[in-house]
A = this chain, B = another copy of it.
Amino acid sequence: MEEERQLAIGVDLGGTNIKGGVVNQNGQILRRLSIQTQAQEGPERILDQIANLVQVLNQGEEVNGLGVGCPGLVELGIVRDPPNLIGWKEVNVKKELEKRLSLQLEVANDVNAAALGELHFGAGKGVKDLICITLGTGVGGGLILDGKLFTGSKGGAGEIGHLPVNIFGPRCRCGNYGCLERYVGAKYIIERAQTKLRDNPQSILPPLNKDGIITPKLIAEAAQRGDDLAKEVFQETGEIIGAALSGAVNLLNPKLIIVGGGVAQAGELIFGPMRRTLAERAINREIQKVRVVPTLLGEDAGLIGAASLILKP
């Protein structure tokens, strides 16, 4: 392996930070760097930021190329409508970065890149059909089907946060009604806790919460200390995710579901009810065999996966 040492730079463009790293053929990050995204300044500025970051990371070794994970729809290097980035209706990220850098270049959606990272170096190694889902402010997803990233006809596949939980339910920010994200996005988990607090003044959540801000992390902490209200919040959240995922597994019959994102750090509190509900609701014994596991690469999945676009492990 030493003889055929391969390196690639992976970049994970987020609305808050741009993270970059030099990744080897084993998926290890040798060196990393993170800068704040100047999201308000428009695409030109951000492309310059990425190019600078890459130049700082690229310190003379033989780097085989650059893989970039971006929010939004990605098709043939063109990024469309990324949420959280201003003025990015449609930007040819591949072409623009090729102007700035002389490196082989590949671009993918950020959650799709994370799915690739898990496939090649993480919890999905050797699995042909898997779904990645990230639970955070938003609920994102990536699909590996028949051993390959599946992006659909226009690079838009994987929007698992916008599967219906209840088509008659409340409006989601995407314009649709009753999407999964509208029930289990971080904001709605907090809302769920706040609603329950009205009838449960004995919960330890308010004393834990010194600065008046409830977060999913704080709710998880209260649940781990045995707080019934907090446990209920995660149970309900896990059940809703499991029920919505039953639709995805009935449709795709994957072998594995990999769950990441901040909310997933609640661990068994959320994985337990999620697994149980999924097993109860999936349509038949073969489809019920799907395993549900936490991410192995965590927050690095996107960066490592972006590099894997070049490493092609």
Q: B-contacting residues of A (Cβ < 8 Å)?
A: 73, 75, 80-81, 128-129, 141, 143, 145-146, 148, 150-160, 162-169, 174-178, 240, 243-244, 246-248, 250-255, 280-287, 289
The answer for the CA separation of A252 and B150 in the assembled complex, in Å, is 8
Number of identical protomers = 2
Q: Give 9 closest A-B pairs by Cβ, nearest first.
A: A152-B253, A154-B286, A167-B243, A156-B253, A159-B250, A153-B255, A163-B247, A157-B253, A162-B250
> A44 CB to closest chain B CB, in angstroms?
23
A244-B164, A284-B73 known; A251+B158 contact, CB < 8 A: yes
The answer for the CA separation of A256 and B151 in the assembled complex, in Å, is 15
A252 CB contacts on chain B under 8 angstroms: 143, 150, 152, 157, 251
The answer for the CA separation of A159 and B283 in the assembled complex, in Å, is 8
A148 CB contacts on chain B under 8 angstroms: 146
B153 and A244 form a contact (CB under 8 A): no
23 pairs, CB–CB < 8 Å, chain A vs chain B: A75-B286, A81-B284, A145-B145, A150-B252, A151-B253, A153-B253, A155-B286, A156-B253, A156-B287, A157-B252, A159-B251, A159-B287, A160-B250, A162-B247, A163-B163, A163-B250, A164-B164, A164-B166, A175-B280, A175-B281, A176-B283, A177-B243, A251-B251
A168 and B167 form a contact (CB under 8 A): no
The answer for the CA separation of A95 and B177 in the assembled complex, in Å, is 48
A281 CB contacts on chain B under 8 angstroms: 175-177
A251 CB contacts on chain B under 8 angstroms: 141, 143, 157-160, 163, 248, 251-252
A283 CB contacts on chain B under 8 angstroms: 156, 159, 162, 174-176
> A236 CB to closest chain B CB, in angstroms?
11
